[in-house]
Structure 1
Amino acid sequence: MGQPQEPHHRLPFGNPFKKTSSKGSQLSQRPLFLLNAFEFALTARLRKLNPKDKHDVLSLAWMVLAMESLCETHTDIKTLITELDLPVTGWDEKWIDVYMDISVKLLDICNALSSELLRLNQGHLLLQCALHNLESNTSEKLVRACSSLDSWRQNIGAKNPRLENCKSILEGLVDSVSLPKVKNSAKGKVLMQAMYGAKIQTVFVCSVAAAVFSGNSNNLLDLDVAKTTTWAQAFSDLQTNVNGGIRDIFSLGKFPVLKELDEVYTAVKNLCPMIQDGKRPIEVEAFSNSFSDLGRRAEKLAQGLDFLTKVVDGFFKIVLSGRDALLCDLRAPDTLADPFPGSNGKRFVR
């Protein structure tokens, strides 16, 4: 799955929320309080994602944490909009167009990740079949087990075209990060700065997920964010550690790179020579230990895939219901714009 390395470049982003010196440009106390609360929470999430070891990010556990963090940030955006009491009639047409374009790309990425998780889950069925056959000591069952394990190795080594296309989708997201400047609207400025932070976190997490599951570090993006945001340093530290660690590991040509997947791969590699050509294992104790080890690691992988699938599905629903809510609000002026609803899909009305 490893790919040749290509030079990577930092992608510059200007801060879409720049204070001006003209009269009336300063934020009122309430919107500023809401913005500070949002950015404080975002900073804490970014720091929580910073791995203690570079190998941690190449795990399903970190992926689950990262996707859960995204869901929390997008839910906070929903809460912020509710607190700002910013009606859809106050939205600039460009803001709506930008959000709609971004949401389509996020749905595409969710679909790509879901397709890969489904593929890996289908591979787990092959492991279950092999483990079932290994419970018997007959030559016929051992041959079937070998066949299932060989099929599983081919499954995880196959390319997923939908993941290969993530790079172009991510680059499209990058183009959407810089938002139009907001004039004469304190609430609008707060919303745009908060959405700026949410988009940076989203692009980063999605690029890491695409890189890890495709086995291609070219899917990683390096984002150069505005230093004036309170969360800039936390994001810079996170990005440096995560992207740098991933590139270091990928440069070794290791396969597979996902931690839980690699553990199963190693267990399969240790077990296969013992049952080659359907021969009964000579070292019974060694075979029993390898069999048990494969069962434990396969179960751990299955649980991780299940957890991540549910979180990705939840994030998909957040984005999808957000689009639906905003479209409904555009048709009904007396409702409150809700572009990032929570996973329960509920909308708030005035």
Structure 2
Amino acid sequence: MTRTTNTAVDATLSQRLPVDLVAVVALALLTLALGGGAPSPLRVVLGALFVFVLPGYALVAALFPERSLEDHTEGAVDGLYNIEPGARLVLTVGLSLFVTPLAGILHSFSPAGIQVGTVLPTLAAFTVLAAAVAAYRRLQRPAARRFGLRVGTWLGTLWTWLRTDGRASDDPTAVDGTDRFDIALNVALVAGLVVATVGLAAAVGVPTNGERFTGFGLLTQSPDGDLVARDYPETLVAEESETLYVEIANHEERAAEYTVVVELQRLDDDGRVVESAELDRFQRSLAAGEDWQGPHDVTPTGALTGEDLRLTYLLYVGDAPPSPSTETAHRAAHIWVDVDGDDGVAT
């Protein structure tokens, strides 16, 4: 009696609304709304579902809108549009692992590149579109043949399995001892897959401290307008400006205030700084995941001129100390230059 009631309730829900597809769309939109901010338990769980389950589930639902013979319900027929539950689960994970990298590969050819802000909306749009197609195809089928997550039916079958204890029964759904072992093994395999999936998502989604970093560099502008890491000036003139481009990439998983200190340094034969002159310092605020490239006009003073001087850009997270150095800086970038005095001669 319980199985029949649960089946009727589940069938009624499936006729009115594909609840599983609504849940897929809701989870996809929720993941998109949360975005790619700092990792949290909720983002890890949603990220695991978004990468390993949702795209594949929606696609499988669109390809196979009918229930399988294993549903033990009237109206189920063997045909092109249904597959067994085990195959549906494998295809869900497999197709998700196909669709997600494919979205990344496609974005690698776009100007924006592979970024959370571009790949995430693409995956969400694919999932929503596939779910819409799945809902349309499913509702075109007779109600008795539509696939759906009939949780009540499954719970009723599980209860029957627990009660029979392998004894003979007139109930065609009664499970013998061998089948009980197979079912338990399948449940264990599915549970292990879920645990492994969440664990992998947690390992990928929560970077270690070593994976959090700030990119920093100096660039120049090529004749065609591109910023490149070459063709740096070899000679500067005191009191005359030369334009370089500073690049900062915030991968610290949080917003950061950066301070850049520009120094001209003279080194001895052992590589120690014996004389320095601070030319400039400026600050830049970047959100988590934000990159910045901007011009900087460096102007040597007449206080330090000569050959083989090191023009050094020091990067600090937060404020810079009164006496900055490469040892205390978070990152450093430099080029070697000759600096001519006011008379145009390096002294």
TM-score normalized with structure 1 length: 0.31
Q: Hey, which of these two has a bigger chunk of strand by percent?
A: 2
> Which protein has the larger Cα radius of gyration, Structure 1 or Structure 2?
2
TM superposition score normalised by structure 2:
0.32
